[in-house]
Amino acid sequence: MLAATGRTPHTQDIGLETIGLAPGSWLEVDSTMRVRAITGADGADGGGWLYAAGDVNHLALLTHMGKYQGRICGDAIAARARGHEPAVTDRSSVSCVPQVIFTVPEVAAVGLSAEQARARGMTVRVVDYELGEVAGASLFADGYTGHAQMVVDEDRTTIAGMTLAGPGVGEMIHAATVAVAGEVPLDRLWHAVPSYPTMSEVWLRLLETYGL
């Protein structure tokens, strides 16, 4: 049983009202984690001094994404302290977020689901493969069962998203994260040869099923 009750920002008692923001609200940020509602002396949107990394900005409520945003935020603050606009931009807040649900079995996902991709106007193809049919599955556990689903952006021939379900899949999702974040074309992934016999051979099977 999975109970998902949602979350609210813990910003009630930090003085947001003193700078014109509503206590208890999410803090919308730009790509450098600077709060958009605070306008700097130059009058530019988001040109202020307040930054918000992690759950409070409501981009991706996950510990690893908060750590990632913290690195972006620190680089941006340091760059602006030196009088430069930061070169770094956040590309992972929405479309490249990896996540693991530590249920039994685990569920791991990155990028967009087929429904989300279609809602963005993308032409997608869904490719499914049973993880238990990968040679490495029997070495991982007797009677292993699981499922892999790859969502392909047909216009760009790249992976828009990946979902894995099965024991230990949380340790497998980073390869998909690299493929999604790096926008790696499928014909390039075909030459990323997985070791045999490992669970990672599912990549070969998914690409074969796709038709490469």
- pTM, to two decimals: 0.84
- What pLDDT does residue 170 have? 97
147 phi/psi in degrees, rounded to 5: -145, 145
CA 91 to each of CA 59, 69, 111, 139: distance values in angstroms, whole numbers, following the listed order: 11, 10, 12, 36
Nearest-angstrom CA–CA distance, 82 and 169: 43
- What pLDDT does residue 92 have? 53
- What pLDDT does residue 177 have? 95
Name the DSSP letter for residue 170.
G
Distance of CA 98 to the CA centre of its chain: 4
Nearest-angstrom CA–CA distance, 53 and 33: 6
Nearest-angstrom CA–CA distance, 128 and 52: 38
Name the DSSP letter for residue 122.
-
98 phi/psi in degrees, rounded to 5: -90, 145
Domain limits, the chain: 16-81, 98-210
Measured from the Cβ of residue 138, the count of other Cβ atoms closer than 10 Å reads 13
148 within 8 A of 208, measured Cβ to Cβ: no
H or E element at residue 177 = helix 173-181
Nearest-angstrom CA–CA distance, 128 and 162: 10
- What pLDDT does residue 212 have? 82
Which residues have a Cβ under 8 Å from the Cβ of 171 and sit 6 or more positions away? none
Give the mean pLDDT per block of 10 residues along the chain (212 residues): 82 92 93 82 60 93 92 93 80 76 95 95 97 94 96 97 97 96 95 95 97 88
- What pLDDT does residue 185 have? 97
108 within 8 A of 99, measured Cβ to Cβ: yes
- What pLDDT does residue 94 have? 61
Q: Which CATH superfamily is domain 98-210 in?
A: FAD/NAD-linked reductase, C-terminal dimerisation domain (3.30.390.30)
